[in-house]
Amino acid sequence: MTDARTSTSRMAVTVEQADATEGMDYLETRGRRLVNLWLPLGVIMVVLLFPFYWMGLTAVKPDGELIDLDGTFPLWTWNPTLKHITTLLFETDYPVWLWNTMMVSVGATFLSLIASIGAAYAIVRIRYRGAQWVGGLIFLAYLVPPSILFIPLAMIIVQYGLFDTPFALILTYPTILIPFSTWLLMGYFKTIPYELEECALIDGATRWQILIKIILPLAIPGLISSFIFCFTLCWNEFIYALVFISDASNKTVPVAIVTNFTDGDIFRWGSIMAGALIGSLPLVILYAFFVEHYVAAMTGAVKE
């Protein structure tokens, strides 16, 4: 009897191994692996990295090659130069623009996260009638185009005397950041077991203590994801920064490199691409360090 059971178990294991082997057969031959894995991966990598390659190439091309596209090979240069980069860094206020962008992005992201955490926790954990409707309406607010809002917001900014100051951007960016961040954190807060809060309430903890000591430590991936989203949107935002800021010393990088390196219909592409490339490096570093947390939090939000 024991031998029969042992034989049955061995047969079952063998069948499972065979099924697993058949499921991975497409990876065993080099040709299939090339077609099913490496070729699509290579295409995706080329599509994603080509903009950075083009920015870097344009930033080191001489002016003659940038103008004469027919007489030179567009995808390579044999005479690289650092003229555009040195002009950008040492003959303009680019370091000041970079600092303005960093200050505005950090300030607006900080305010947005504080508001989003409170709103998401109240909608998900505090039970009251219409909570789900409130969450849906907040997300719908994210779908409103910023180009519709900048005119009334400009009137408010002027009345409060904030025009042409970094606070004009720090206080208006949350209007486009809070809705999506709230929706993202709502989805992540729902993945945290409610029993943890019930136990804390029985032990006498307040809602504030529960939020600070239980929910936020468990929601760190969601907070990181929300921070990356807000920071990226602030860093790349163009319309509000163009309308609310006119002084060159207060401009952010996306607006400054376009307005200061454009003379009528003449674009100084070398300096523009150098500014765009250097300005994108902080975001690349940010994503490189926190991409796993970002994907995990987005997955949790989408499931909900």
Q: Provide block-wise average pLDDT over 10 residues at a time, the chain (304 residues).
A: 51 49 57 81 92 91 83 85 91 93 95 93 80 76 80 89 93 91 87 88 88 89 88 92 90 92 84 91 84 60 47
Q: Looking at the DSSP assignment, which residues form a beta bridge with residue 266?
A: 263
Looking at residue 196, its amino acid is: L
Counted domains in the chain: 2
130/172 same-domain check:
yes
The tokens describing 51, both together, are: 């903009």
- Given 52, 81, 110, the domain boundary residue is 81
Total residues belonging to the chain: 304
170/216 same-domain check:
yes
65/118 same-domain check:
no
- Given 49, 81, 113, the domain boundary residue is 81
- Cα separation, 118 vs 110, whole angstroms: 13
40/177 same-domain check:
no
In angstroms, the Cα distances linking 268 to 76, 260, 274, 290 are 19, 9, 10, 34
- Cα separation, 228 vs 267, whole angstroms: 31
In angstroms, the Cα distances linking 84 to 21, 124, 162 are 56, 51, 34
Structural domain that includes position 223? 86-303
pLDDT value for 304: 47
31/104 same-domain check:
no
97/189 same-domain check:
yes
pLDDT value for 10: 54
70/138 same-domain check:
no
40/147 same-domain check:
no
Q: What CATH number did the domain enclosing 291 receive?
A: 1.10.3720.10
225/121 same-domain check:
yes
54/126 same-domain check:
no
pTM of model > 0.85: no
34/160 same-domain check:
no
pLDDT value for 303: 47
76/90 same-domain check:
no
- Given 51, 81, 111, the domain boundary residue is 81
pLDDT value for 297: 55
pLDDT value for 302: 45
